[in-house]
Amino acid sequence: MKNLEMPHKSVVYWHKRQSLNEIRKQKPMFEQLMAQTRQCMELHPDLANDITGAIQCETIHPQTLSGFSNFTFHTHPHNIAYPSQKDIETTKRLHKEYLLIGLAQQNKVVAFHKDDNYERLVAKF
């Protein structure tokens, strides 16, 4: 089924767009989690150059582990704007459609979708 206004867009496209719009509504929660990460990094300046150690400052959205959401969300203290292999494995294991990463220092969220194995950025907000 195609949309009459934009015949080249499929129903799947519109479903993804609607899902991302619903996810965007959670930006206040994402901002709180990114603030927690920034605060942790400020309390531990020794982690500024330690990407592995900074994992202790990552925060995870509570819905990530529940069956009530179609996404995983966690922060990256060093603003790495792409998922690690572990991020991808976890998102697949939890059967989530979207993998979201909070870039704590930029206060931005980047989103990836399962259609291409979470490799291509599909949204940034």
- Which position has the higher pLDDT, 57 or 19? 57
101 found inside a domain:
yes
**Per residue in 77-108, pLDDT tens?**
999 999 999 999 999 999 999 999 999 999 99
The Cα 83–Cα 62 span in angstroms is 19
Contact call for residues 65 and 94 (beta carbons, < 8 A): yes
Give the residue numbers spanning the domain of 118. Answer: 11-124
How big is the chain, counted in residues? 125
69 found inside a domain:
yes
pLDDT at 10: 59
Q: Among all chains, which residue has been given the structure tokens 């129903």?
A: 11
Percent of the residues in the chain that have a pLDDT greater than 90, as a whole number: 77
5 found inside a domain:
no
104 found inside a domain:
yes
48 found inside a domain:
yes
Number of folded domains that form the chain: 1
pLDDT at 38: 97
Percent of the residues in the chain that have a pLDDT greater than 70, as a whole number: 86
58 found inside a domain:
yes
4 found inside a domain:
no
2 found inside a domain:
no
